[in-house]
Amino acid sequence: MLERLFVRPKRKSRKFLFGLNNFKSFKENQLIEIKPLTIICGVNNCGKSSIIQSLLLSSQSLELTEKFRGYPLLIRYPYDFREPIYKTSLLFEGDLCHLSDFYNVLNRYSKDKEFSFNFEIESTKFSVTFFNPYKENPLEAYVKNIDIIGDGYNLQIESKFEENNDKFNYSCLIKKLNFQHLLWRCPFGYFKSRKYLSNKNFEETFIINHLIKDIKVIFNGFLPEKLLLPYDRFSNEINLIIQRFGEGLKELKSFKKRINEELEFILLRTEGKTKDYGRKIIKETYYSFFEYYENKIFEDLLKKFHYIGPLRDEPHRYYQFYDIRNLDIGNKGQYAAQILTLEGDLQIPTFKTFEIKDGKLIFEKVKLKDLSLKKGLSIWFKKLNLPSINPKKLEHILFKIVVNLQKSDEYVTLQDVGFGISQILPVYVESLRMEKGHTLVLEQPEIHLHPSMQSKLADFLISMAISGKNFLIETHSEHLINRICLRIAQDHSNTIKNIISLVFVEPPKEDKTGKFIGSKIKRIILNNYGEIENWPVGFFDDLDSGKIIQAAIKKRKKEANGEI
């Protein structure tokens, strides 16, 4: 592959919308805004988990880039000129989620037997539709079509599926390519001029009519990563255009010269055997027409997902493991103790805590020169009035996590203090150690937690989100939501309100005619005072509280009248 000749600048945090269509209980396209602290609520079996699963599916499909990267064989073997062999775009069984196969996630009312994901970051919109052309293999899903719209460009890709003598051929072709403002993204280090881009004849004649049918689409999972074009085809077309249009396009000679200069520059940077026959290979192999950098925005977002499920690992009296670094937390948080033991002294990203002064919430950055995982955990456990915990080595591979009982010098193991601490420990460990910009997905983090600890968890998550980390949470906890509303009311700067996206998912149903209506995502509006302005039906129903008051009044009246 030709290496990139410039570095893409870092991008600031942007508005991120995600939509899904015909995925599980969702029929029509439904959008959710993803913010640093995104909270999904709803009754059981309404579709909350489907939102999380669709994002986890996207993430794990992109994470295994080498296995699911659709490079043509000729990129790996320069003298192999066969057509690209495309691999499945989605990984249904992975580390983050287990979704079985294509038909398990497809909405059963989908007429076209396809589902789609939609991503939007400010002015860039990316829509991808998946289908399964090989029905005998439900484990696979392929890109059916892609539509990318941005500032001054539009790329449309569609698939082609043919059956001939019991042989199936799947390929992806460019349907539309609006090249305005894109050519400067080519990996040509010396190519700075953009004067050709405003030439309509150049764009329509050179790109659309002559080259588009020869462009090969290379995927990273389901994201188009590169468009490849044979060098000879690229160079010959320039000559044809010059001959056809004569004097009016002599300036294109300069463009061709710059391309040749770039090829020479690349060859000078090669070493060993490649340098000896590089000039021959460069004209025989495909070379990168341009690298589609806009998809990197979505790739960066989706590949930075961490996940802890609702059923977390039970506490153990002892933990046995070897000194292995760079561990994942595990879907059940089962490696939290191991991470705390082996990485407890490693430095973690800085974070903010808060204080309430005169009824006003104020965030303050923790000022420690060497902020380790154990120190960060100690700060938060002390602030939230939780007992301190520490790993203790017993033998070479045998450890235990000890808990210091408050108001005493007694130490016990995690198994001796109930489920609460052990269930929340993975959430705190992973939140503290993950990098800023990464996203931790949590399903029902409140399980086995006392109501007061659920509220304290909300305080912790708010502070981590303010510190630059992202959270996607599916919850049934009224205490967690109420604490967030309280903190919004106490925050005079309205910072908390601006980083929170709260949605309610309505379950699927049938209308009066029997037509299936899929799950709906409703945005919950929080004002600056922490009040919910559009309280949906079924959102933390207070019917029992009202009934208790009514029953108590009736009972007192009957007691007063001597009826009971």
Give the Cα separation of 269 and 224 in Å (integer).
27
Nearest by Cα to 401 from 315, 331, 326, 329: 315
Summary mean pLDDT of the chain = 79
Task: Return the pLDDT at 289.
Answer: 46
Give the Cα separation of 269 and 461 in Å (integer).
48
Amino acid in position 391: P
Residue-wise pLDDT for 317-347, tens only, equals 888 876 666 688 999 999 999 999 989 999 9
Give the Cα separation of 353 and 366 in Å (integer).
7
Q: Is the pLDDT of residue 109 over 80?
A: yes
* Pick from 166-175, 227-236, 301-310: least confident: 227-236
Q: Is the pLDDT of residue 466 over 90?
A: yes
Amino acid in position 25: S
3-state SS, 330-381, equals CCCCCCHHHHHHHHCCCECCCCEEEEEECCEEEEEECCCCCCEHHHHHHHHH
Task: Return the pLDDT at 189.
Answer: 37
Which residue shows structure tokens 């893409």? 8
* Pick from 69-78, 265-274, 389-398, 400-409: least confident: 69-78
Indicate the Cα dihedral angle 535, 538, 544, 550, nearest 10°. Answer: 60
Task: Return the pLDDT at 302.
Answer: 82
Interacting residues of 336 by C-beta distance below 8 A, sequence separation 6+: 313, 329, 330, 425, 426, 429, 430
Task: Return the pLDDT at 374.
Answer: 96
Report the percentage of the chain scoring pLDDT > 70: 71
Task: Return the pLDDT at 224.
Answer: 82
Per domain, the residue ranges of the chain are: 16-301, 305-498
**Cα→Cα distances 110→25, 491, 517, Å:** 11, 45, 12
- Rounded to 5 degrees, φ, ψ at 395 are -140, -170
**Identity of the highest mean pLDDT range in 77-81, 217-221, 493-497:** 493-497
Task: Return the pLDDT at 15.
Answer: 80
Mean pLDDT, range 96-112, rounded to an integer: 94
List 339's β-bridge partners, or say none: none
Q: Is the pLDDT of residue 447 over 60?
A: yes
Higher pLDDT, residue 102 or 279: 102
Q: Is the pLDDT of residue 243 over 80?
A: no
Q: Are 376 and 432 in contact (CB under 8 A)?
A: yes
Q: Is the pLDDT of residue 4 over 90?
A: no
Q: Is the pLDDT of residue 522 over 90?
A: yes
pLDDT confidence band for 84 (50 / 70 / 90):
low
Report the percentage of the chain scoring pLDDT > 90: 43
Enter the DSSP assignment of 370.
S
Task: Return the pLDDT at 285.
Answer: 42
Task: Return the pLDDT at 417.
Answer: 82
For the chain, what is the total number of helices (H) and then of strands (E)?
Answer: 15, 24
Task: Return the pLDDT at 498.
Answer: 96
Q: Is the pLDDT of residue 74 over 50?
A: no
Q: Is the pLDDT of residue 261 over 80?
A: no
Mean pLDDT, range 110-125, rounded to an integer: 91
Give the Cα separation of 10 and 2 in Å (integer).
22
Higher pLDDT, residue 561 or 538: 561
- Rounded to 5 degrees, φ, ψ at 484 are -65, -40
Rounded to a whole number of angstroms, the distance between the first and last alpha carbons of the chain is 87
Tokens of 188: 């040509």
Nearest by Cα to 528 from 498, 558, 560: 498
pTM equals 0.81
Higher pLDDT, residue 88 or 465: 465
Task: Return the pLDDT at 322.
Answer: 67
Give the Cα separation of 41 and 46 in Å (integer).
9
Give the Cα separation of 425 and 314 in Å (integer).
11
Give the Cα separation of 312 and 301 in Å (integer).
25
Q: Is the pLDDT of residue 369 over 60?
A: yes
Residue-wise pLDDT for 29-46, tens only, equals 999 999 999 999 999 999
Q: What per-residue string of b and e applies to 318-348 under the rule 16 or more CB within 10 Å gives b?
A: ebeeeeeeeeebbbebbbbbbbbbbbbeeeb
Mean pLDDT, range 403-416, rounded to an integer: 80
Tokens of 245: 């249009």
Higher pLDDT, residue 438 or 220: 438
Task: Return the pLDDT at 35.
Answer: 96
Q: In this structure, how many other beta carbons lie within 10 angstroms of the beta carbon of residue 13?
A: 12
Task: Return the pLDDT at 133.
Answer: 86
Enter the DSSP assignment of 281.
H
Q: Are strands 516-517 and 470-474 parallel, antiparallel or unpaired?
A: unpaired
Give the Cα separation of 455 and 477 in Å (integer).
9
Q: Is the pLDDT of residue 257 over 80?
A: no
Give the Cα separation of 132 and 149 in Å (integer).
25
Q: Is the pLDDT of residue 275 over 50?
A: no
Which residue shows structure tokens 């309430």? 356
* Pick from 140-154, 351-365, 540-554: least confident: 540-554
**Which CATH number applies to 305-498: 1.10.287, 2.40.128, 1.10.3470, 3.40.50?**
3.40.50
Task: Return the pLDDT at 283.
Answer: 43
Q: Are 106 and 115 in contact (CB under 8 A)?
A: yes
Task: Return the pLDDT at 298.
Answer: 74
Q: Are 138 and 102 in contact (CB under 8 A)?
A: yes
Task: Return the pLDDT at 360.
Answer: 87
